[in-house]
Structure 1
């Protein structure tokens, strides 16, 4: 390498170009999981496309009425939860990077004072936090607790199944269509159901008794349940919604998402079967942020000051004080 090449490399090493290159090389080197599913195409400038998309969503009504009639016993249990949390606080925990701000000791203290813990999906991925037994596990992923699953989640699924069989106090909240299946594994007394049909373009509803007016995101469904239970205060964490900053595109123009979750190693999702362009992916991500506004509630406090989710009031203290904020002014409940 000649002198000019060395000089050029030295200059490059101190530029944003170098950082950009290293960042992309890192993501492309990660273990990659190819995601299947129907392709989503968006034509937001087309009134005709919007019209047919809106009409097409009405098919959810047939499924909704059928489930309400034949699965009402599961929904009735959820109905009884309405306003049952008025005297206690709750924390809804997603699997985003900010979940790592929490520690088991603080969460145990919160729970010992009567606080209720609502987690989602693969709670057991974080070995430290999952030492704390949650009050509710909310899941809407059809692969969780299923016998036939892709290789990349077999171990995670088995771990969660074992955890839930061991910790019989944890209630499971799932879509009405899965209540029968999941109750055969864990027992009817542990299962609650919610309506998972979507009528997003017709309603802004967040009531779990009716079709939802927001995109299918398990953490939003957990938050909807917390609002339904009507806790005194609802803390949220792990709802970082960093999808927009974690999108990458490889040499074949594949839509790659850098997956970052607390307690697990980084990996990448190849979502090019779902999103045929970066624009398609970003359009749906934008809808995700708009939908967060539908949960507007003064009781909600986002414990992550850096969260891209800007629909809720954020904690205005140092991250180091999360435990103090979580456990402040909470009276210990004694039997």
Structure 2
């Protein structure tokens, strides 16, 4: 668990998000950085929107700008949600990640302390322990691969204008990493460098906004599914579990079944309440995410279909966006 929390913390701290860092959760310095990043996300959304609207008559440029605009929308929504609901997300992590509340169930506590070598009790103990380890290992691999995918896509966007300026004979050429509208010109080299740095920073913010928030939600939902699997196992094998617990004392079988079943119901109610609170935040986010992601897949597919220059980095970036958007949600 410590390794996964460390990875999440390193990724999210780039955007000033400290929900995985217990020592700095209330740090004003990191909170200020989070506000700044949300503001940068808002500027990215505004600049890309104006660019798309102003180039609506040119279908090729509009498609190129739309892919960046949709990406900026997802980034801004993700950063804004992390800021608006930072306290609730911190509470969610306390309930489902930092502490395994499944171990607070009296039956699970007793089984984990027992030295069982066979039977349903042994299967239950292994399910509790191994499922927790497998979930954290899966999320760790998902987060690393997702960060690498988004980082690779953003790097291709950044390298594309550098490559085109390098092979061009026009020394005054000013190309930017992403298609954005700016209320200033790029003739001044200092202004151009500042604009390019803004692009680069906004691009790498995507490496935080996408993997960080979505992997965290997957982790929370995964914990709910894991605990429901354990409750289902207990319910399906209730008779055998109680028989192994009470052994020869037949008079304790009925009260034992009732007691364990009541523990399962109590824990299920807690899970249901947690899931309802999580859904209130994540459902609107994922509805918007599905809409803009579908638009992005369509835009990238059209761009790839009409492009004749397969070998240039800018075209590779569209392939990478398709992998980045469709992969983690498959």
Q: Does TM, normalized by the shorter one, top 0.5?
A: no
TM range (shorter): under 0.3
Instruction: Answer 1 or 2: which has greater strand percent.
Output: 1
Normalised by the size of structure 1, how large is the TM-score? Answer: 0.24
TM-score (norm 2): 0.24
Which has more helix, going by share of residues? 2
Rg: which structure is higher? 2
